[in-house]
Amino acid sequence: MPTNQPQETPEANKWEEAAKLETLFRQNPKEFTAAYATLVKTQPGSPLVKYWEIRLAYDRPAGLQTSAVSGPYGWALGWLVLLLAIFAGTIAKLPDFLQLAQPENFYLRNAGLIIFPALAVYFAMTRPVDRRTLAIAGGVFVVSAVYVNLLPDVPRSDTLMLTYLHLPLLLWTVAGLAFTGRWSAGAAARVEYLKFNGEYAIYAGVLMSAGVMLTVLTIGLFSAIQIDIATWYEHWVVIYGAAAVPIVGAHLAWVRSRSAARILPVIAKIFSPLVLVTLVAYLVIMGVNGKSPYTDREFLIIFNVMMLAVLTISILALTERQRRTIHDLVTLGLLVVGLAVDVVGLSAILFRLGSYGFTPNRIAVLGANLLIFGNAAGLLRCFLKDWRRNAELTATYRWISGYLPVYAVWTAFITFIFPFLFRFR
């Protein structure tokens, strides 16, 4: 008997199969591995198999050839993480090994060099990287290590302190070269690096909190039986553990991003409205109480930290935005309020320069404020442009990625030029 119901076509079955495989890849890696293996055996030359071969090859560690989800070489990546953690911890222990009289100077100079070279190696082993880009990144790490450790030990030097603060930021951008894979990476790769850092910071924070709890518990338990291990524990376990946290955190972020949904979008949706409400309330109370960044130096420092925090949260919220929702209004509010804070902070810096004169610190803060103001203004303009068209954040992502090299140039200028420009004042 004839029926009016449409018959399923082979093409429709293929699309349904592709959708199921994508769902398994995102939600259940073990079932995906089994389903993919079956597909390879039954349809070895199908377009779907070729597509997944290309997609998994992109996430395959260089030199550790395996699937992005699982494989026989997964143990090798685990050993790599362990070795990098030991390497970073050993660098952090050099003041003890070399019996340096002032270990705090070593950590001021080399804080970024303890973490970011190891992270760059990890990125290079888990993502495809152009050899020329890898050579450039390695060269910058070596030059930075030699340069910062040959700087003179000038007491109370503002320019040297600025160098120590900006060098880790520069090395962070250099590690990003290993992540993005090439010097001239596109907007998508740079935005992905920012998204990864947001995810990675969450895991590193959890690991650090767990490490603090373990330290307190361990020292307390041994103290209860009259054994004092605090000094030994701090000199070995704490130092190696603290150096390992960034490496292990990055590994957890990478593994989880391959097999499960990201945490950052959830965090962004929860905390963005809370940050906006807190910021508005803070500004209102500040005005009522008569606090002013124009005359209070410590308050101006807090104001600058707040500007940077608002910009960071706004960028992370935008990088995790997938479609137009009510959360766009929250992000828009953050950008508007953040830009207003930038204007006040910038005017306060200009006021202090006019009233008290030029110093290296004030010039550096002025430059940083101008960078943040330009970034926030451009970000707001591009976001409004994309939002009005109800389109993907193409212009916004281009602006975010295009501004990263600007920060890199500024941090390099402060690190390598500023001390000599002001003769290590």
Q: How far from 16 is each of 21, 42, 50, 259, CA to CA, in Å?
A: 9, 17, 17, 21
Q: In a 10 Å sphere around its CB, with 0-12 CB exposed, 13-18 middle and 19+ buried, how is residue 44 labelled?
A: exposed
Q: Buried b / exposed e across 33-42, counting CB within 10 Å, b at 16+?
A: bebbeebeee
The model's pLDDT over 365-412, given as tens digits with 9 standing for 90+, comes to 899 999 999 999 999 999 888 888 876 778 888 899 889 999 999 999
What's the whole-number mean pLDDT along residues 252-262?
Answer: 74
The model's pLDDT over 334-352, given as tens digits with 9 standing for 90+, comes to 889 888 888 888 888 888 8
As given in the structure block, the two tokens for residue 316 are 């992370």
Task: Compare 417 and 269 and report the one with higher pLDDT.
Answer: 417
pLDDT at 391: 67
End-to-end CA distance of the chain: 94
What's the whole-number mean pLDDT along residues 177-203?
Answer: 85
Stretch among 26-40, 88-102, 317-331 having the lowest mean pLDDT: 26-40
What's the whole-number mean pLDDT along residues 255-282?
Answer: 79
The model's pLDDT over 200-254, given as tens digits with 9 standing for 90+, comes to 899 999 999 999 999 999 999 999 988 989 999 998 999 999 999 999 999 988 8
pLDDT band at 31 (very low <50, low <70, confident <90, very high): low
pLDDT at 62: 42
Interatomic CA distance for residues 80 and 255, integer angstroms = 14
Tell me the DSSP string of 149-166. Answer: HHS---TT-HHHHHHHHH
Q: How much of the chain exceeds pLDDT 70, in percent? A: 81
- Residue 29, pLDDT above cutoff 70: no
Q: Report the predicted TM-score, pTM, of the whole model to 2 decimal places.
A: 0.80
Closest CA to 139 of 171, 168, 186, 114: 171
Indicate the domain borders of the chain: 10-49, 74-259, 264-392
Interatomic CA distance for residues 330 and 165, integer angstroms = 32
Interatomic CA distance for residues 187 and 27, integer angstroms = 27
Interatomic CA distance for residues 41 and 308, integer angstroms = 53
pLDDT at 14: 58
- Residue 57, pLDDT above cutoff 80: no
Interatomic CA distance for residues 416 and 409, integer angstroms = 10
pLDDT band at 186 (very low <50, low <70, confident <90, very high): confident
Interatomic CA distance for residues 90 and 99, integer angstroms = 14
* Contact of 112 with 168, CB cutoff 8 Å: yes
Q: Is 99 left (phi over 0), alpha (psi -120 to 50) or beta?
A: left
pLDDT at 15: 59
pLDDT band at 44 (very low <50, low <70, confident <90, very high): low
pLDDT band at 61 (very low <50, low <70, confident <90, very high): very low
pLDDT at 16: 64
* Contact of 370 with 346, CB cutoff 8 Å: yes
| Number of residues that make up the chain | 425
Q: Where are the alpha helices (DSSP H) in 72-183?
A: 74-92, 94-97, 103-126, 131-150, 158-180
What's the whole-number mean pLDDT along residues 5-27?
Answer: 59
pLDDT at 70: 43
